[in-house]
Structure 1
Amino acid sequence: MTWRPRLIALDIDGTITPVGREEIAPAVRAAIGRAVDDGAHVVLSTGRSLVGTLPVLDDLGLRGTTAICSNGAVWWDTTTREVIRKVEFDPGPSVERLRALLPDSVFAVELTGVGNLAFGRFPDGDLWGEVRQVPYAELVSTPTARLVTRWVGRTPEELALRVLDVELPGVTASCDHNEPWLTLSPPGVTKGAALEELRSKLGVSEEDTLAIGDGSNDVEMLRWAAHGVAMGQAPVVVQEAADEVTGTIVEDGAAAVLDRYFGA
């Protein structure tokens, strides 16, 4: 019998949509639909906030599943449309360290389901939902599920080099490979850890898991899955963490993988 995954974890940006956008290619949409129709648990597992994830969930019409947002810190029940888990941390110590390390950087803490509190101005379209500028003291005293930092005027490579081997207190950190953007999550919170807990709750065997992603925050997820697939445009470190590399987002790489198991 041909193996078919029963739990499928899909990153959003760079995997099923272009980065920062909501458009899903017809081939990808159809492939996801066939997996759902076959009874697979399709879980969107993303670094996006809940506000940024909801339009994609609604567009796909996913129900009866869980969405993992903010790199695993926020869980959303797609049927009840409620947050069923939220893990927060104190952003203060990390912001203080990063202000000294990354001059001219700007910061935002997530208000789950609403938007962000920002210290400094982000480019238009960077942050999902409402954005309210606040004083430094308010930002660092607001517990959050997700802190994002943009190093203004720098490249992703410059950011990655600057924070290399830097230990930030009490957080899990990941760098974006498209923008000079650093995301901080609560300690121990990753997509992989969240998916393992969800897998256990769903009663899906370890051998029946599939994950597709393209970013550094997907590495733990790809290693967690029985079969981890990196997108063709993913950085080398992400591809090395995967069992397979598929086509790029432009080539509908995610659809090519899903069609192997749930072909028309």
Structure 2
Amino acid sequence: MAAPIAYAERTTYSLIATDLDGTLLRGDDTFSDRSLSALARVAAAGAQHLVVTGRPAPRVRPLLEFLGSTGLAVCGQGAQLYDAGADRLLWSVTLDRELAETALGKIEAEVGQVHAAVDQDGVEGLTLIEPGYEMPHPTLPAVRVDRRDDLWCAPISKVLLRHATLSDDELASVARAVVGSLATVTMSGPGTVELQPCGVTKATGLALAAGHLGLRPRDTIAFGDMPNDIPMFDWAGHGVAMANAHAELKAVADEVTLSNEDDGVAVVLERLCSQG
């Protein structure tokens, strides 16, 4: 593991942006006591915690309630800005369903059959999965539909893809090569290659949320573990990758901390509090 990099210009940040899966959450979808304590310390010091996740707003709501958060959250890979206190979306972008179908066709023309799921837009949107698709997070609720056409019954924020034999890296590489401007291709976790609205990334939602809060990139420290966090790291003043992070994210991170199972986020936040 790379050694933590000393902060050359500042030791405090006003905005703590954290991914959830593989970052702040442990593998069993829980927060450690140490992480909760560290978040409480930075809040007491005046910093704001912002969840920036690929999960859609309905799948994030229970976690925000557990954290006692009534502020903003960036959901759906940056396609949704959710106000937890009001339980409403302040902003959302949907993926055109015809473009999504076309993109899927282009991908399958290259690699054969893929299995797909969609996250519907809105605070009550469902996750729909077609026959053959297995949820990478079995604890998350999903509704199985009878055929692919049923995935497009309502506006969607993104499409999730899985392939029987290709790795996530291989599937994402092919998808990026053939999808072009139809959608943005991201890889957000094991078994999770996604299509989202073209040009929308976690940085899109993070910048919008920071603007609402009156904060800037240099006020922000971001934590993540997968390639979908790269735009967020590019935007933030300081990017911290987890020890369990994908190599592509570690390559652009300012610092590598311990794994999500070893309270890597808390380790950095505790250091910041001691230096502040």
Q: Which residue of 2 aligns with 1:66?
A: 72
Code of the aligned partner of 1:46: T
**1:201-259 CA-partner distances (Å, limit 9, x unpaired):** 21113321110000110001011110111111112210111111111112211001111
Could you tell me which runs of 5 or more consecutive residues in structure 2 were left unpaired when the two chains were aligned. 1-8
The answer to whether structure 1 residue 106 and structure 2 residue 115 are counterparts is: yes
The answer to whether structure 1 residue 185 and structure 2 residue 196 are counterparts is: yes
1:210–1:227 Cα contact (<8 Å) kept: yes
Task: Give the Cα separation in 2 of the matches to 1:126 and 1:86.
Answer: 26
- Structure 1 residue 39: Cα displacement: 2.3
Change (3 A) 1:142 1:114: closer
Of residues 129, 144, 148, the one that matches 1:136 is: 148
Task: Say which structure is richer in helix.
Answer: 2
**1:160-189 CA-partner distances (Å, limit 9, x unpaired):** 45435333442111124522x311111111
Change (3 A) 1:164 1:190: closer
Q: Which residue of 2 aligns with 1:18?
A: 26
Task: Give the Cα separation in 1 of the matches to 2:107 and 2:89.
Answer: 30
Q: Which residue of 2 aligns with 1:83?
A: 89
2:79–2:94 Cα contact (<8 Å) kept: yes
Task: Give the Cα separation in 2 of the matches to 1:89 and 1:235.
Answer: 26
**1:50-71 CA-partner distances (Å, limit 9, x unpaired):** 22212221111112x2111110
What is the root-mean-square deviation in Å for CA atoms of aligned residues?
2.3
Equivalent residue runs for 1:25-64 within 5 Å: 25-63=32-70
Code of the aligned partner of 1:109: V
Q: Which residue of 2 aligns with 1:149?
A: 161
Of residues 190, 209, 220, the one that matches 1:209 is: 220
Code of the aligned partner of 2:19: D
1:92–1:141 Cα contact (<8 Å) kept: no
Q: Which residue of 2 aligns with 1:6?
A: 14
Could you tell me which runs of 5 or more consecutive residues in structure 1 were left unpaired when the two chains were aligned. none
1:210–1:226 Cα contact (<8 Å) kept: yes
The count of aligned residue pairs is 261
Q: Normalising by structure 2, report the TM-score.
A: 0.85
Of all paired residues, the percent bearing the same amino acid is 29
